[in-house]
Structure 1
Amino acid sequence: MAAPLAYTLIATDLDGTLLRGDDTLSDRSRAALARAVAAGAQHLVVTGRPAPRVRPLLDDLGATGLAVCGQGAQVYDAGADRLLFSATLDRELAETALGKIEAEVGQVCAAVDQDGVDGLTLIEPGYRMPHPTLPAVRVGRREDLWRRPVSKVLLRHHALSDDALAAAARGAVGSLATVTMSGPGTVELQPSGITKATGLALAAEHLGLSRSGTVAFGDMPNDIPMFDWAAYGVAMANAHPELKAVADEITTSNEDDGIAVVLERLFPGR
């Protein structure tokens, strides 16, 4: 009888973690994930990207199962191309939250990810996408951002650092929304109480898997709830100091196959 797997669920962030800076997955990382899956583990992408922006990457991975998208606001079934779970941010509440933030720090530039498998990323004048490879539609006025239900709001400030903007936003919005920082130039508002951990827990329950069998990989403060939920959290060498402080292990960077380094140890093969 084969020995039971130490980890049955591998939860990976994408940007700055699984993907290299050019949005590609190395052959080594691809092989390490394939070996872990062949050994009986399941790989689950847990990302801040909304479902429509994750679909091409899942296709490249050959993934037809679940993915947690939109910072936990969406649980996406890639095979069926549908959302099993979706949480939206009330649009009036989002406008109120933006007003409170701007009262503290001055003007911000905003964007939104629309809900749904065909949702667009809309950006207002002055907003610059932190990931130039991700498609976005520019609108003429902030009011145009609220055409359809949204899963999150993205914020940028012309002068404040991401850490300073995130801290100011948390102080301004209180319990109106969850504030996360998920990458350079990426401070976000999402529905109150929604984090990567809530989405990961829902997906794991659907798959019949538990937190005790979960190893998670990430690089930014938005991954902290996921690390808190998982049995073991691995931060990349390029990770934000706040995530490194709570990680169980620090691996090499995303450019140096940090996930593969750990998976090759956990799933050594034959």
Structure 2
Amino acid sequence: MAAPLAYSLIATDLDGTLLRGDDTVSDRSLAVLAAAVAAGAHHLVVTGRPAPRVKPLLDDLGGGGLAVCGQGAQLYDAGADRILWSVTLDRELAEAALGKIEAEIGQVYAAVDQDGVDGLTLIEPGYLMPHPTLPAVRVRRRDALWAEPISKVLLRHPDLTDDELAAVARDAVGPLATVTMSGPGTVELQPRGVTKATGLALAAERLGMTAENTIAFGDMPNDVPMFVWAARGVAMGNAHPDLKSAADEVTSSNEDDGVAVVLERLFGDAGEVKL
């Protein structure tokens, strides 16, 4: 009789976590994820990227299945290329939130991720994409950002650090939206109450799994709610200090296969429990 799995649900962030800096997944990580799945575990991507920017990466990971996208605002069925559930950010509230932030710190530069499997990332003049491999469409005026339903707003400031911008945004926005920091140069506004944890919980329920079955990997403060929800949270060696403080364990960096290091310990022997 096979030994029970330590964790039957493996939740991984992408950027700065499972992905290396060149947007690839190492052969080592692919091999141990395949071994974990063969042993009976389920791998679930939980990312800030919107669904349209995730599908090519999921193809490298085996294609089908669920993914939590847009910081928890989208539950995406990659096999069917269909969004099963989504929450949009009210565009009037988003515009009002931007106004409150700019009243405190002057001009910020904004971008939005549109909702839907064909949604675009739109950027206003002055906004620089922090991740150059992600496609974006530049618009001439800010009001063009609100043309279609959106899942989130991305913010940059010419002088403030990400931590400083996020702190000001939280104070200024209040109950209008949730403020997260998901990567270098990436402070975001998303629907109030929506986090990676809410999306992960919804996906786990559909898969018949629970928090007690879940190990989660991440690198930025937006992963903190996921760590609080899951039975075990593992921060990458390159993680933000706030996430390391919330983690049960710190592994090596994304460039040094930190996810694989932990999973090899857990699933290296045909799924035998190794705690």
Residue 46 of structure 2 corresponds to 46
Residue 75 of structure 1 corresponds to 75
The 3-state SS of whatever aligns with 1:135 is coil
Residue 59 of structure 1 corresponds to 59
The 3-state SS of whatever aligns with 2:152 is strand
- Describe the superposition over 1:209-268 as per-residue Cα deviations: whole angstroms up to 9, x where unpaired: 110000000000000000000000000000000000010000000000000000000001
Residue 100 of structure 1 corresponds to 100
Q: CA deviation at 1:269?
A: 2.2
Q: CA deviation at 1:2?
A: 1.2
Inter-partner Cα distance in structure 2 for 1:109 and 1:194: 23
Letter in 1 for 2:85: F
The 3-state SS of whatever aligns with 1:49 is coil
The 3-state SS of whatever aligns with 1:57 is helix
Inter-partner Cα distance in structure 2 for 1:120 and 1:194: 20
Instruction: Answer yes or no: is 1:220 the counterpart of 2:223.
Output: no
Q: CA deviation at 1:60?
A: 1.3
Inter-partner Cα distance in structure 1 for 2:167 and 2:44: 29
Q: CA deviation at 1:176?
A: 0.6
Percent identity between matched residues is 81
Letter in 1 for 2:211: R
Inter-partner Cα distance in structure 1 for 2:36 and 2:63: 14
The 3-state SS of whatever aligns with 1:238 is coil
- Describe the superposition over 1:133-158 as per-residue Cα deviations: whole angstroms up to 9, x where unpaired: 00000000000001100000000000
Letter in 1 for 2:39: A
Residue 19 of structure 1 corresponds to 19
Residue 165 of structure 2 corresponds to 165
**What runs of 5+ residues in structure 1 fail to find an aligned partner?**
none
**CA contact under 8 A between 2:32 and 2:268: conserved in structure 1?**
no
Letter in 2 for 1:265: R
How many residues get paired? 270
Q: CA deviation at 1:181?
A: 0.1
The 3-state SS of whatever aligns with 2:205 is helix
Inter-partner Cα distance in structure 1 for 2:269 and 2:138: 48
The 3-state SS of whatever aligns with 2:54 is helix
The 3-state SS of whatever aligns with 1:259 is helix
The 3-state SS of whatever aligns with 1:52 is helix
* Structure 1 residue ranges, 4+ long, deviating more than 4 angstroms after superposition: none
The 3-state SS of whatever aligns with 1:200 is helix
Residue 121 of structure 1 corresponds to 121
Residue 87 of structure 1 corresponds to 87
Instruction: Answer yes or no: is 1:211 the counterpart of 2:211.
Output: yes
RMSD value over aligned CA atoms?
0.5
**How does the TM-score come out when normalised to structure 1?**
0.99
Letter in 2 for 1:251: T
Inter-partner Cα distance in structure 1 for 2:33 and 2:269: 12
- Describe the superposition over 1:54-97 as per-residue Cα deviations: whole angstroms up to 9, x where unpaired: 01000111130000000000000001111111000000000000
**CA contact under 8 A between 2:169 and 2:179: conserved in structure 1?**
yes
Inter-partner Cα distance in structure 2 for 1:22 and 1:268: 26
- Describe the superposition over 1:172-215 as per-residue Cα deviations: whole angstroms up to 9, x where unpaired: 00111000000000000000000000000000001111100000
**What runs of 5+ residues in structure 2 fail to find an aligned partner?**
271-275
Inter-partner Cα distance in structure 2 for 1:3 and 1:63: 28
Residue 177 of structure 1 corresponds to 177
Letter in 2 for 1:179: V
Inter-partner Cα distance in structure 1 for 2:187 and 2:175: 16
**How does the TM-score come out when normalised to structure 2?**
0.98
The 5 A counterparts of 1:212-251 are 212-251=212-251
Letter in 1 for 2:142: R
Inter-partner Cα distance in structure 2 for 1:64 and 1:141: 38
